[in-house]
Structures are given as C-alpha cells and as structure tokens.
Chains A and B, each alone.
Chain A
C-alpha cells in the first residue's frame, strides 16, 4: 500500500518537474522572447523584440535621397530582394509609394531615388 503511494507521489513530482522544466526552460539561442507572463485565465501576454538588421546601402547617385525617404518606412531589402527591373518599373514603384502610401517625397527626390535604385538594383529601359 505504502509502495503504491510512494510510486504515485514520485510520479506526480516527476511529472510536475518535467512540466515546469519544459515550461521554464531557457529559450533556445537566437529567440528573443523577453517575457512570457502566465495569466490567471491561462492566456499569456506576449512581448517580443525584433532583430535590427539593416543592410548596407551601396554608394550611388541619389543614395542620400533613398536613405532619407524610403528607409523611414521599410528596409532597403524590400528593394534589394527584387530582380533587376527596368527604370519604368522602378518609376512606377516610387510613384505608388507617393500616390497610394502618401510618402511625402518631392519630385526632385523621387527622380533621384529612381536614379539610385536603377543604378544599384536595376537596369535602364530597353531602347525600342
């Protein structure tokens, strides 16, 4: 009888330790969960810290205009991940940022941004 109790209690303790161990085990290296606060209702509040990893901007004409306008809203990777589109495609993309997303970029800067993106990530339009 006592042995059965002992076995049961050991099992319960083992389960509890295993559960807590699993629950509070350190996050694997690389994850950046800064807090996970268990709440009374079982749901947990969450907070994460996003990694900051901006790519280098290669030199080129219009680099300053690109860096001071485009990068405010999004990573340069949005541009660098694209295949080498021709100037007319990039022009339309910059226009979309201004028209649809209301980016406050004056016309002179828009032209310089297109120049930079074409020089660094794109190609000139094919002549017909």
Chain B
C-alpha cells in the first residue's frame, strides 16, 4: 500500500476544486489534508521512545550503553538541547578493548618523528606553554552516526543520532608542531597514533593519516581542552587530534605518536577500513556494492530533530516549538526546512546565531498540528555551497548519514 495515501486523506471535492487551480491549488489541498494515521510502531526507531539502557562510566554522565568492552556510549538526545555538549556527555567510541585508563602527565610525551629534521618529544606542559593556544568550535561526529537507522540494517555500532557532539576545542595548531619539527622535503602524509592497543598483538593497531597539506592547514589541532576543561580519559585525555569538518575516525584520542611520512600509508585503517562508495552521498545498492571506494573524509550535510523527541506526544491545536540541529563540513548551513505533511510542503525554520563554521547550527520553528493524528515530520538542510540532503541513501558501512530524516509525531 502506498504509505502516503494511507497517511493523508483527500476529499474528492477538494481535489476537484484543486484541479482548475493547478499545482498551487493542489499544494493548498495538501496543506489542509488531515493526519489520519493512528499508530506509531514500537519498533520504529525514528518515531518511538528510546528505551536503551543507560550506564555510568568514569567521568561520564549516564550514557546509552551500546557495549561495555570496548566502551561505546551514546549521548542521550536531550543533551542536544545545549549548544555545547558537556564533556561528561560526549559520545565514547573506541575500537579495541585495550584503552588507556591511566595517564601520568609527568611521563607522558607526544612523539613527533619520521620525515622531520628535529624529532620532538613534547610534554603536556610544552604543548600548553611553548605554543600559542588556538581555539575553535567544532562538531565531533562518528562516521557511523545514525547507522542504526539505515534500511536495510547494516552491521556495526547501532547508533541513533547520538554519536556526535559540539564543543570548543583548545590546543595547538598541528602546523606549529610540524614547523618546529621541520618537515623534510618530499614528505606527503602525517600519521597519527594513540595510546589504545588491540587485545591481540596480531591485530592492526590504529593509525590514521592526513595529507601533509591538510595537516598544515592551520585548523587541524592537537587539543588539550574541551569546553575549557581537560578531556575525560574516555574522550582522549591528555590530547586528541581535532580535524574540523572531518569524521571523528581521524580525531585520534590519547594521541601519542605523530609520524611524518614520505609515502602514503597502506595500512588496514587507511587502505581497507572506513572506506565509502566513491560518489556524492556515499550511495550503493545492497545487491550491487560499489567497486570504487575511497577513505571516509568530510561531513555530509545532515539535520536532525531534537525536540519533540521520538515517541513524545504533543497537543493538537496548540502551537509547539520544534527544534533540531543541522551541520555540514564547513561551508555553513544556509537553510533548514521543516515539513509536517510527509514532505509535500516545506517551510523555512529560523536559525540560531552561527557559532562557527564547524559548529552545528540550531534551527527552530513553531508548528501547530491542527487536528489529532500522527504527522510525518521531516527536516532538510542546505549548506552555503548549495548542497542539500539525500532523498534516499544506503551503503554497507552505514556511513555518512545524509538522508532527509523523518519522525512520526502523534498529536492528541
């Protein structure tokens, strides 16, 4: 059954009236259509309340438990009503169970080696005092954020929208560290490693790399503070890499080794893992996986609902603020549109003040569900480069969610 027809009912005379008026009239008829769906399925992750268990880990607020070993903890949606995600509520994602649980800053050093003239061993004190402090607001987001909403489902961490957060990061520009070390001619890449280790020594240790140009863009940062405080250990104390506008798989936590390379890395983490179909939107078909894949890189344009939350019942006939977040990889959000009729009609939401090009942008609109029923609400964002969200999207990794999100909201 076509779901659109099930959800909205037209009166024949409405349609007859609309036909002479052409497309404009049809739009009007759609706007006055009744919401007539009565149920939201309990297993609909888009529209039902989040009943996953909460867990308390050290230095963290109660977080949604995906797994305990290694810790994968998701941020409960209500924290997204705040522009800056509290440190205790930022999502946690480690690949291997061998995560650092103790760092003695008297002994800890950040090694800078490889294709450099002066290898460095920097203490936390060096980073804090020998370099100018830089600061920027940026969203950290797992490339698998919202993976649990892919249809058909794909294996991996089954996140909803809570594998992201927005923060003010303070630290040292990577460029300054590289300049101090003196990058040799013919260097091409910079590789990053943290203190985490695989439980089996045979497993490939995590090392991610960025091109030398990207590493020296003056924005990539070795951050020792998040929102003005040291990082929680589970989020990468004492320092983590911050790669504005790029997915968090590059934001190496508890960073310990920076290696300047004169050849591109061919390791598992760059060559095989975290690859996506090489097309705009990272799309492929389940029966026809893309052959051409490239390493994950910048954020796609995406927007989500924050309030009402999935499963929340709202009052019919009364105005209600609907709000959410929109983000892209740095061009900036130009427009966010909201629909309460399954995408037939859209109207502009208002945008909160811009907090920086790598920050998320809050959107708000007031919506009055006219009558009782279930409404299909949708949100789509467009950035200043004219890139909008996707009508359909699927890939085997559950990566780079950019689909136009929907939520069925019941008004009574």
Interface residue ranges, A against B (CB under 8 Å): 30-33, 39, 41-54, 72-75, 77-78, 81-83, 85, 89, 93, 100-104
- Closest-CB distance, A105 to chain B (whole angstroms): 11
Q: Give A50 to B224 CA distance when docked, in angstroms.
A: 22
Q: Give A45 to B105 CA distance when docked, in angstroms.
A: 5
For residue A45, which residues in chain B have a CB less than 8 angstroms away from its CB?
A: 102-106
A102 pairs with B103, CB closer than 8 A: no
Q: Give A47 to B200 CA distance when docked, in angstroms.
A: 23
B57 pairs with A75, CB closer than 8 A: no
- Closest-CB distance, B54 to chain A (whole angstroms): 10
Interface residue ranges, B against A (CB under 8 Å): 55-60, 62, 65-71, 96-97, 99, 101-106, 124-125, 128, 153, 155, 157-158, 198-200, 202-204, 224, 230, 233-234, 237-238, 268, 272-273
For residue B203, which residues in chain A have a CB less than 8 angstroms away from its CB?
A: 73, 101-103
For residue A72, which residues in chain B have a CB less than 8 angstroms away from its CB?
A: 199-200
- B52, closest chain A residue (CB): A81
Residue of B59, B71, B273 near A31 (CB, 8 A) is B59
For residue B204, which residues in chain A have a CB less than 8 angstroms away from its CB?
A: 100-102
A49 pairs with B101, CB closer than 8 A: yes
Contacts A39-B106, A74-B67, A100-B204 given: A48-B233 contact, CB under 8 Å? yes
Describe A's contact surface by its main secondary structure.
loop
For residue B153, which residues in chain A have a CB less than 8 angstroms away from its CB?
A: 83, 85
B128 pairs with A77, CB closer than 8 A: no
Contacts A51-B68, A83-B153, A101-B204 given: A73-B104 contact, CB under 8 Å? no
A74 pairs with B105, CB closer than 8 A: no
Q: Give A53 to B65 CA distance when docked, in angstroms.
A: 11
B158 pairs with A75, CB closer than 8 A: no
A100 pairs with B268, CB closer than 8 A: yes
For residue B200, which residues in chain A have a CB less than 8 angstroms away from its CB?
A: 72-73, 101-104
Q: Give A108 to B158 CA distance when docked, in angstroms.
A: 29
Q: Give A55 to B272 CA distance when docked, in angstroms.
A: 31
Contacts A46-B103, A74-B67 given: A100-B238 contact, CB under 8 Å? no
Q: Give A111 to B241 CA distance when docked, in angstroms.
A: 40
A93 pairs with B155, CB closer than 8 A: yes
Max count, chain A CB within 10 A of own CB: residue among B69, B128, B200, B230: B69
A46 pairs with B68, CB closer than 8 A: no
B106 pairs with A46, CB closer than 8 A: no
Q: Could you list 18 further interchain pairs (A-B, Cβ under 8 angstroms) beyond the known A42-B128, A74-B70? A: A30-B56, A31-B56, A41-B125, A41-B128, A45-B102, A45-B103, A46-B238, A47-B101, A47-B102, A47-B233, A51-B57, A72-B200, A73-B200, A77-B67, A81-B66, A82-B155, A83-B153, A85-B153
Q: Give A48 to B57 CA distance when docked, in angstroms.
A: 9
Q: Give A54 to B70 CA distance when docked, in angstroms.
A: 11
- A97, closest chain B residue (CB): B203
A43 pairs with B272, CB closer than 8 A: no
For residue B233, which residues in chain A have a CB less than 8 angstroms away from its CB?
A: 46-48
B102 pairs with A41, CB closer than 8 A: no
B128 pairs with A43, CB closer than 8 A: yes
For residue B199, which residues in chain A have a CB less than 8 angstroms away from its CB?
A: 72-73
